[in-house]
Structures are given as structure tokens and as C-alpha cells.
Chains A and B, each alone.
Chain A
Amino acid sequence: MSYSTENRFIKISIIFSFISLALGGLFGLIQLLARTPYILNIDPQIYYMVLTGHGVLMAIVWTAFFIMGIAVFVTTRVLKVNLNKVLLNSSLILSLIGTILAAIAILSGQANVLYTFYPPLKAHPLFYLGAAILVIGTWIFAVAIFLAFLSWRKSHKKEAIPLPIYGVIATLIVWLEATPGLAIEVLKDLIPMSLFGSPVDVLEARTYFWYFGHPLVYFWLIPAITLWYFTIPRILNTELFSETMAKVVFILFIITSTPVGIHHQLVDTGIDPSYKYLHTVLTYTVAIASFLTAFNIIATLEKSYREKGGRKLFGWIKNQPWNNPVFASLGLAFIIFGLGGIGGIINASYSLNYIVHNTVWIVGHFHTMVGTAVTLTFMGATYLLSPFIFGRNIFSGRLALWQPYLWFVGMMIFSLSYHIAGIFGMPRRTSSILSYSPIPSEWVYLSQIAMIGGLILFLSGVLFISNIGLTLIKGPVISMNGESLNIDPKPNTMFDNLKIWIIIAVILIIVAYILPFMEIYTRGLSPVQPRLP
């Protein structure tokens, strides 16, 4: 079977994601040095341009393009099907054009609105237009994958859906549940605001944004979890502890990842406390999925240790292939996922949130999740899949082994100090903490400790990018054309019937959001004029 169109798609989207990661990382370094007192003094306009760029590149571009590349790889190789060429090519072109338009707006300093772009702060129309085109590109992409999946399903009705495919499909379902919120906000509010200066109701726009903003998190996380489920047992030469539980996790994500967005708006005025509490409860339901994932992975590690004759109670922690770069990346990402998950429960708590809201605690939190659980897993997956995707082995295995450990240490230092500084009320999204008076002393030394962690992270990022760059140019060539991943077929069960779960998800989303939106619309809107940042 020839995968030439698919392989081109995979290469372009993954290499583009690495370019975004490199640029986003450089922006991260600039921000880090500017925020730490007495290190680097830059113009605040540049700071917020860099901050917008860092957020958009890392949270959206790096993750989305990597995920699209991996999704095509997994779908074609596991199902042994071709994707619709026209859809695939047009989705790639639209996604790239959208990203480049938004990037032009950001880099020219005309979109200093950060990656949440709350109105009435106004950016150049290209920024919103680019976002809209990117989203349309991803929708076409989802259609291409779904068509291939459905045609496979038609001829394999009695088989269970292979787990990695289940992960791909769950990711795309969550994306399709989430993105209408963004589409409505951009088309109804932001593009008219930016083009014609139309007034915008701030609360309405924020509610649409967070309808999209939280499931975005699971759009990153489900692929990472899928990679753990698929890769860790293969490295250990065993089976996943429970495939059923893994599917239950994906189903829980499909059902509960979207109706939770208001936990980002717990201290917003204009949303009834009972709706806030409802979204807290639903967020705790989606936390069950993370707890089950943690159990399944740990149980797999222990199972493999016992199978090899291990007897000690905690021997399964040490006796793992920690000197394998792929295992080390995934394992360390998994540990930080556990810590970050506990922080997430605090963030979503109805009456704890106002201690940490808009402080650097939040920054510390999402760097554990998207910044490590997801990013470090994707880096590990790159080490694993480089021969398949680029036809080359990794240039330096030794650098690839150092890199995840450096990332882990850097992130622990960085995110722990930010978590603590957040409890002392240090704000996020500020170009300098020195202008406040009197400035709490904890802010200063915790920023300085965080900087050390950030520098280690940057070093680790440089190792990754240069190792990958050298792999593409000088990595040992190996031929792996036409390869496929073989998964033994298993019988179909109730967990493979996705229709029911999608219907339940839609009902739950309607229930959770109809009440707050009715409150907002029956009270009447209070639109205000747009402003430049």
C-alpha cells in the first residue's frame, strides 16, 4: 500500500510543529528573562507580543500540527487505509495559511491580545481571520479521518476498535464538540469588532471562549494518553493492564470534556453560583478519567515487573527501562501529569479558585500539563517514530536520553516555584513585577528560582530541536516504507459503539450551557466599544 500523500502530510505538519515549538521556546526564554526582576529590560509592547506568540505557538500550533501528523500516521498504519487526498491536502493548506496569517498579525505587533484574546481588546482582523481558517482546516481534517474510519468500520463490524484509533477518534470528537464555541465567538463578536468596531458583550464572548478553551486541554491530552497506552506496553513487551478501562476513559473524555468551561469563570460576575457549582461537579467527573488513566498505566508497569519475576512491593518503579529515551520521556511526562492533575482539582474547586485565579499558580499548572504531560510525550513519540516518519534513526541516542531528564528537572523547579508564588498572589501576564509597591519579597526570590528551572527547560528544548534537526539531515537512513502496525483484532463490545456516547455528550453539553446562556441573554447584553491594547 502506498501512503505518499499521507506521508507528505505527516512530514510537513510534524516539521511545522517543530518550527513552532522552537520559536515558541525562544519566546518563552525572552519572557522568562524579562519577568525575572533585574535580568532583562524590554519594552512592554514587545513583551506582550512575545507572550501572545508563546501562547498561540505552544498551545495551538505546536500541539495541533503534531497531533494531526500523528493522527494520520496512526490511522493509515493501523487501519491500513488511504485517506481522501483532496480533503487531506486542502486541510493542510488551510491550516498552514490560517496559522501564517495569524502569525503575521502577531509578529508585526498588531495582535497583542494574548492567546485568550478577550474582547474588547482588539487585534488586527488577520489574527481572527487566521484563527477561523485554521479551524476550518482542522474540520476538513476531521472529516478525512472520519471517512476513512467509517469505511474501515463497515467491513470490520464484528471487531473492536483498535485502541490507538479509539484515541484518534475521541480526540477529533472532542475537537468537534469544542470548536463551535470558538467559531461563534470569532464570527459573531470578534471579526465584526475588529473590522467595523462593533461593540461586544464581554461576558457573552468569554463564555463562548471557555466553552472552547477547556476541551482544548483534552484535545492535547487524549493523544498523549493514547501514546502512553499504546507505547508503554510495547516497550515493556506486555499488554496494557486493561483495554476496557482505557476505552472507558476515552468515553468519559467524550462525555465530560466540554460541559466544564465555566470553571475558568468562577470569579466572573454575571454567572449564577449554582451554574458554577454544576460545572465544578462536571469537572470532577472528567477528573475520574485521569485517575483511571493513572491507575491503568501504573498497573501496567507493575504487571510487567511481576511477569519478569519481580517480587518487591515497589520494585516496579526502579526496574523499568529508564535508560530508554522513549520510555523516559513518557514515564516522566506521566509523573508530572499526576502532579498537575492534583493541581487541576484545586483550580476547578468552586471555593478554592479565588486563591489561585490569574496568579502564576495557573501558569505553573498548565506547564505541567500541556508543557510536560503533552509536550514531553510528543518528544518521546518523536524519538520512537522518527524511523517510520522520516526514514532516519535519531542522530544522537545519548542526547535523546539526557533531554527528558533535563526537561523533568527544569519543569519541577519552574512549575513548583510558580505554584508557590501563585499562593502569594503573584500575578500572571504582567511584563514586570517591579512596578508594584510595596512588592512582596516572595515574588522576587520565587521568580529567580523559577528562572533557573526555565533555563534548564530551554536547554532541554535546544537539545531536542538540534537533535531532531541533525536527525533530518544526518540521521542514519533506514528503509521502512509500506510498514504497518499490526494489532490483533478483538471482538466488538458495547464500548465500541460510539454513537450512544456522542448523543449523551451532546445532551450534557446542552444541559450545562443552556442555563448560563439563558441567564446571560434574558438579563440583556451590555456591549462595550472595542479598544486597542
Chain B
Amino acid sequence: MNKIEKIWAGIVIAILALFLSTLAYSITIGYNPPSSGALCLPADLEKFNPGVIEREPGVYEVNILAKQYYFEPFKITLKNPKKIIFRITSIDVIHGFSIVGTNVNVMVFPGYFTIVTWEPPQNDQREFLIICNEYCGTYHSTMYSKLIIER
């Protein structure tokens, strides 16, 4: 390889190293993709109650069950949430769970729990659209729900 190629290869590696270090930095401040890995065996599924639990003021645990072709509960209303912990599982096939317009966007597997923590923008009160964004069967496009944040 001649000199100009080596310079270019060096530039490329430097650019990619810079990108990777920004990603590494995002890990140190806690921006990890949801990875929990908790299994949801049939016994866990029986005990699973879809709904909202307020753990402490402003901290909500939201349990969601995904099915062909709806989320249970359909409508979630939260008052002044600071932190929301979603625990989601599926009873049948793979689904997606995306809160449109936010960076909450995860896969939901039958047999596993997906756990994702979200701190919604403060002073933002509105209705969010939640959609299933992984193909789950014929009526996939009708699968959505709502998250309403009140202040």
C-alpha cells in the first residue's frame, strides 16, 4: 500500500474510534439498550398481572402483556411520572414495543421479560402512541395502545 492509502486508513480508523468512544461514553452514563434476560416461564406468566403499580411517588412499574393483536392494559394514565419501569412479556409470538417519538423501542419475546426504564421529559404532558413494530400476524397493524402523561 502506498503512503496516501495508509493516511486514509488512519483517518478511517480514527473516525471509527471516535464514534466508538462516544458510544462507550454513553454506557458510562447509563444509556444501555434493555438487555435484562429474565425468563418468563409458564408459572411466571400465570402470576403476571398487567397494570400499574406506583412504587414510590413518581416511580411507576407498568406491567404490560402483549398478545396478537393488542396490549393489555390498552390505556395507561400516569400522573407526574419521573421514572417508569416497563415490564413487558408476550403470551404468543414476538412483538415490538415502541413509544412513538421517544427512544423507547424494544423487542418483546414470549418466554422472556423485557424490562426498560424510561424517564419521560419533565413538564411534558401528552398522549403517546405505543405501537407493536414487529410483525406478529395478519392483524399486526391494528396493535397499538396509549400512554397518557398528566401533570
Interface residues of A (CB under 8 A from B): 44-45, 48, 112, 114, 118, 120-121, 201-203, 242, 244-245, 248, 265-273, 276-277, 280-281, 284-285, 287-288, 291-292, 295, 299, 345, 349-351, 353-355, 357-359, 424-425, 427-433, 435-440, 519, 523-528, 531-533
B140 and A429 within 8 A (CB): yes
- Cα A357 to Cα B104 in complex, Å, equals 10
Could you tell me which residues of chain B, from 2 to 52, have a CB within 8 Å of some CB in chain A? 2, 4-5, 8-9, 12-13, 16, 19-20, 23-24, 26-27, 31-41
Which residues in B have their C-beta under 8 angstroms from that of A288? 9, 12-13, 16
Which residues in B have their C-beta under 8 angstroms from that of A519? 37
A351 and B37 within 8 A (CB): no
- Which B residue sits closest to A290, measured CB to CB? B12
A345 and B19 within 8 A (CB): yes
Known: A202-B112, A242-B2. A355 touches B96 (CB 8 A): no
At the interface, yes or no: B115 with Cβ under 8 Å from chain A?
Answer: yes
Which residues in A have their C-beta under 8 angstroms from that of B38? 269
Which residues in A have their C-beta under 8 angstroms from that of B5? 242, 245, 292, 295
B39 and A44 within 8 A (CB): no
Residues of B within 8 Å of A, CB-based: how many? 62
Most chain B beta carbons < 10 A, residue from A265, A272, A292, A357: A357
- Cα A526 to Cα B4 in complex, Å, equals 53
Q: Which residue from B27, B107, B139 sits with its C-beta under 8 Å from A267?
A: B107
Which residues in B have their C-beta under 8 angstroms from that of A295? 5, 8
- Which B residue sits closest to A532, measured CB to CB? B137
Q: Nearest 3 pairs between A and B by C-beta?
A: A526-B111, A427-B133, A425-B100
- Cα A291 to Cα B10 in complex, Å, equals 11
Chain A-chain B contacts (Cβ-Cβ < 8 Å), number: 193
Which residues in A have their C-beta under 8 angstroms from that of B39? 523-524, 526
Known: A267-B105, A271-B35, A358-B98. A277 touches B137 (CB 8 A): no
- Cα A365 to Cα B21 in complex, Å, equals 24
Which residues in B have their C-beta under 8 angstroms from that of A357? 105, 133
CB distance from A352 to the nearest CB of B (A): 8
Which residues in B have their C-beta under 8 angstroms from that of A280? 20, 23
CB distance from B34 to the nearest CB of A (A): 6
- DSSP class of A's interface residues: helix, strand, loop or mixed? loop
At the interface, yes or no: B131 with Cβ under 8 Å from chain A?
Answer: yes
Which residues in B have their C-beta under 8 angstroms from that of A429? 133-135, 140
Interface residues of B (CB under 8 A from A): 1-2, 4-5, 8-9, 12-13, 16, 19-20, 23-24, 26-27, 31-41, 68, 92-94, 96, 98, 100-101, 103-115, 127, 129, 131-142, 144
Which residues in B have their C-beta under 8 angstroms from that of A292? 5, 8-9, 12
CB distance from B104 to the nearest CB of A (A): 8
Which residues in A have their C-beta under 8 angstroms from that of B68? 531
Known: A244-B1, A528-B110. A121 touches B37 (CB 8 A): no
Most chain B beta carbons < 10 A, residue from A354, A431, A519: A354
- Cα A436 to Cα B130 in complex, Å, equals 9
A268 and B107 within 8 A (CB): yes
- Cα A202 to Cα B33 in complex, Å, equals 19
Which residues in A have their C-beta under 8 angstroms from that of B98? 358-359, 425, 427
Which residues in A have their C-beta under 8 angstroms from that of B133? 357-359, 427-430
Known: A267-B33, A355-B105, A358-B105. A533 touches B110 (CB 8 A): no
- Cα A432 to Cα B98 in complex, Å, equals 17
Q: Which residue from A281, A299, A435, A523 sits with its C-beta under 8 Å from B141?
A: A435
Most chain B beta carbons < 10 A, residue from A202, A523, A528: A528
- Cα A287 to Cα B14 in complex, Å, equals 12
Q: Which residue from A44, A284, A523 sits with its C-beta under 8 Å from B16?
A: A284
A269 and B141 within 8 A (CB): no
Which residues in B have their C-beta under 8 angstroms from that of A287? 16
CB distance from A411 to the nearest CB of B (A): 24
A528 and B111 within 8 A (CB): yes
